[in-house]
Chains A and B, each alone.
Chain A
């Protein structure tokens, strides 16, 4: 198999498996398990296939261009170290899948579990075999994300939710720091490729930014590996299902941190800062974790703190700046994965078969589950570092390194003692695990009667314990080649001599081992009294709970600080916000002028035409009048806005923009009708003359707003004057003008632009209009109109009282507005014809879908206004605005898609002329069909909005008639005008 395919499969297959598992039905436990197992085993096989290449000292590589402009490639790279880790991820993964199949309850949504697990496996593989650091940081964050999902798998429990959130917050924040660190590192080296970074060790260490990069990367690594002071998330993550803990919290996720440290060891280690930060964190974590572990009453809690401690040990070894220590660290990573995964699984079996994990309740399980007991005993002994087991050998190497370490500050003097102390603690908690659970009298009052688990559930534990034994007895023959391979790929060819064997003769490390063993046993016996008491937690350190500090910090950050900032920087009131926007816009424009200056333009201004000046004297007065009257005289203000709009319309005509004028005019009509319809629900506001004027504060506020308005208006006037007196840039205009006919097939360039050159833009726009229309419709369906501000007009009152007198007939009492009524009926077909005319000629002459649609909408709304809702809808039942909207959108998008059918890009148009009888020669670009779509949409959307609003008055009238009826009963003829 080519190596590119192999590497890619290693990453893609788990994710593909995750998707497949996620799509399975909720209770497909066996199918999902089989799938996950098959994926893990197949990937393991692939890793094995890579062995010959890797063992020959070659590196498997694969590379795809990702962001070439930034020098980033998606590159995969597997050397011996990555190979070892990939094997660990897949191997333990396969065992965990088998275990989980039996561990998970029938009513859990198991496929989801396996989907997360597989996705995590893929992310972890990505971290391990990434060939560039940015990509590594990406997969790193993915592992945080999927571990969040896995820890929170039983999301109905608070502990799971909190644990998951805490793990995500800590590790993902660390991941961001790592990303920043990686960027700094990339800046130092000039590339993010791992090969180059590893080769540039000297340059990195001498660079002034080294310390920054180191701290940021360590933040990532130490949070992930739960090192002091970030260790608190790991015990809380024990709320996860036990297979997750066995996988994530022993073999993979937490190992990612130490993986990274070992990976970057050649590039970054070897400085005092590295020694102090990495070694210091490792030392403190090792002692702290081991000490706290002794006092845990929960089996998994004990294992969690023990994991923290062992990771501390590995970190400490990595911090020692010695090649032998690196060998020991890698070796211990493997050993710890083997015994800790098996112990987690054993703890899970105990939990599964007895219903509790509390050491104080458990006892004497050795009799009911002897086989599991033996397995756990061996694994725990390996954890304690008992000879002939794998933990012993790496611990011996650790002792040897502790004795020979060199470093600043005389810190190394205490290392041997610290190592022994940590080891003794480790013996003590291992003893507690085994003695507490498996020995002693028979347990009483357990939730379930304990018995051996299913054979296949125990199988993974058996395999792992076998590995512990095999490595412990014959290290060189079993793990030797693999360890050598991994270490060689990290250290290059400078691998120091080390001996993997059980017996090195009587020496200091052996002596230390025995002291630690004896000390641990003694400690355990001494602590019996404390451990049997009901005291929760450990002596001395109980108050320093990382979790509580973390929670306080979170509350401060996400709640108090946020609230305070919101109080300072935000308001719920609209006016200050708008004021701010206007002020900022003004200042931004002003700043640009300030910086670049605003000289006179190069074009002489055209002479003022008195007619247009007169038009704008009127238009401007209208605008000012509207501004003054909008509060107390809404109708007048509305009419004045119409006046200003007409002035705009005339301006468009004046300066050769007929299409704009047409659209502006029609839209003006519709807008006015719309606002008129809304007026009735606004509260009556009457100006009280001679009130002495508003108070001082209000007056000051108005003055400030006036200042803003004048500045904004003046600024915009100056800006537009400056723009207009300069030669306008040609930009697209030349192109559009040249190709409108020759390639777009229309002489109306604006229309061709809309339906052809920029048709995608128009398509987007009509979708927006459709969305807005539907939104208004939806809003109005649940509308609770305010009480009418005005009494119904006399006509309506008469009609209503007639309807009330003879319910059910609804006979018109009088022909109100007979002349306009007849006229609008007559004018309707004429307007429809005008609309058709505008639509069809749009491509060549002013017109088009927008204005044609508006004309139809105006025609219909006229009928509504004069004829009334009921009369119009009786006759125009075919008018279903939503259908028009849908048809318009379909037609427009369909025309665009049809181009794809002819192998052209989306919205390409075709054109030609056809001769129709009577009508004559007609342009038939496919753009016309698009324009018809626009037309239908505009008709539908406009009518939907207007009709929805108009219907409110029908509703309102029903409410009014009810009110009238009740009033009539009370003998009162008038309706109270409702105001607030």
Chain B
């Protein structure tokens, strides 16, 4: 199971990095989204992969890690997802504005000199 998830993280990160290094703004946006999936999964996985563990305590229960999933990476990832959305939005708008101003969608605001 761990193998599947780590391969998934690897594929997501690899695709993300590849796109991040591309010259077109849309590619970079998509790359960032993929990379953030990878990173979120990675942070999530640091709590250990638990199938069928309870996520919700019983009323009045004092939970332990033996029965429950680790809430800390989950809380971190939850905020990361929302922040990631916000920054993607900002990036997109900046890129669109840059495209409007410079007339190109190259990340540097101008085409590479040949």
Contact = CB atoms under 8 A, between A and B. Distances in A.
A713 B15 contact: yes
Interface in A730-758: 730-734, 736-742, 747-750, 753-754, 758
B107 A606 contact: no
A56 to B, nearest CB: 65
Nearest to B37: A648
A845 B63 CA distance: 15
B23 A575 contact: yes
B82 A945 contact: no
A623 B45 contact: no
Nearest to A752: B71
B100 A785 contact: yes
A723 B45 contact: yes
Interface residues of A, number: 116
A573 B106 CA distance: 10
Interface string B13-43: 1111111111111111111011001101110
Given A575-B107, A659-B55, A630 B9 contact: no
B68 to A, nearest CB: 6
A681 interface: yes
The winner among B12, B20, B64, B99 for most chain A CB atoms within 10 A is: B12
Contact of A631 (B24, B47, B65, B82): B24
A777 to B, nearest CB: 9
Contacts of B60: 741-742
A616 B30 CA distance: 19
Interface in A626-684: 626-627, 630-631, 634, 637-638, 641, 644-645, 647-648, 651-652, 654-660, 663-664, 667, 670-671, 674-675, 678-679, 681-683
Contacts of B27: 630-631
A558 interface: no
B105 A741 contact: no
A750 B75 contact: yes
Contacts of A685: 24
Given A574-B107, A582-B20, A638 B30 contact: yes
Interface string B77-114: 11101111111111011111101110111011000000
Interface stretch (A120-128, A229-237, A766-774, A827-835): A766-774
**Majority DSSP secondary structure for residues of B touching A:** helix
A683 B15 contact: no
Given A626-B34, A652-B44, A754-B78, A609 B1 contact: yes
A850 B63 CA distance: 24
Contacts of B17: 582, 708-709, 712-713
Interface string B57-73: 11111111100111110
The winner among A647, A648, A659 for most chain B CB atoms within 10 A is: A648
Contact of A705 (B21, B101, B107): B21
B100 A783 contact: yes
A172 B25 CA distance: 45
B72 A753 contact: yes
A736 B65 CA distance: 10
A737 B63 contact: yes
Contact of A630 (B22, B78, B103): B22
Nearest to A613: B4
A156 interface: no
Contact of B13 (A619, A713, A784): A713
A730 B65 contact: yes
A657 B74 CA distance: 7
How many chain B residues sit at the interface, stated as a range, is 35 or more
Given A678-B92, A773-B86, A582 B21 contact: yes
Interface in A233-266: none
Contacts of B59: 741, 747
Given A712-B17, A737-B57, A663 B81 contact: yes
B92 A674 contact: yes
Contacts of A775: 90
A651 B4 CA distance: 10
Nearest to B75: A753
B8 A712 contact: no
Contact of A667 (B2, B85, B96): B85
A710 B81 contact: no
B93 A630 contact: no
B73 to A, nearest CB: 9
B99 A682 contact: yes
A462 interface: no
A915 to B, nearest CB: 15
A710 B7 CA distance: 12
A709 to B, nearest CB: 4
A718 interface: yes
The winner among A644, A710, A780 for most chain B CB atoms within 10 A is: A644
**Majority DSSP secondary structure for residues of A touching B:** helix
Contact of A736 (B31, B49, B72, B90): B72
Contact of A683 (B34, B41, B42, B104): B104
B11 to A, nearest CB: 4
A769 B83 contact: yes
A605 interface: yes
A620 B82 contact: no
A728 interface: yes
Contacts of B45: 720, 723-724
Contact of A605 (B3, B61, B88, B99): B3
B21 A732 contact: no
A598 interface: no
Contact of B105 (A683, A728, A730, A734): A683
B8 A651 contact: yes
Contact of A670 (B13, B41, B70, B85): B85
Contact of A681 (B11, B30, B52, B96): B96
B47 A728 contact: yes
A945 B89 contact: yes
A727 B23 CA distance: 41
A846 B57 CA distance: 11
B43 to A, nearest CB: 10
B56 A657 contact: no
A846 to B, nearest CB: 7
Contacts of B28: 574
A571 to B, nearest CB: 9
A645 B33 CA distance: 9
A736 B13 CA distance: 31
A572 interface: yes
Given A648-B37, A678-B96, A716 B42 contact: yes
B85 A742 contact: no
Contact of A724 (B6, B53, B100): B6
Given A620-B8, A749-B71, A658 B30 contact: no
Nearest to B47: A728
A638 to B, nearest CB: 7
A560 B7 CA distance: 50
Interface string A157-198: 000000000000000000000000000000000000000000
A674 B89 contact: yes
Interface string A775-809: 11001100111100000000000000000000000
Contact of B55 (A572, A658, A718): A658
Contacts of B48: 724, 727-728
Contacts of B41: 648, 651, 720
A721 B47 CA distance: 12
A967 interface: no
A949 interface: yes
Given A716-B42, A753-B74, A949-B93, 9 more contacts: A574-B28, A605-B2, A616-B7, A616-B8, A623-B15, A655-B50, A656-B69, A737-B62, A765-B83
Nearest 6 A/B pairs, CB to CB: A713-B14, A717-B10, A737-B63, A709-B18, A721-B6, A627-B15
12 contacts: A575-B107, A626-B15, A656-B51, A671-B89, A713-B13, A720-B9, A721-B2, A728-B70, A730-B65, A754-B75, A769-B86, A980-B103
Interface of B: 1-31, 33-34, 37-38, 40-42, 44-65, 68-72, 74-75, 77-79, 81-90, 92-97, 99-101, 103-105, 107-108
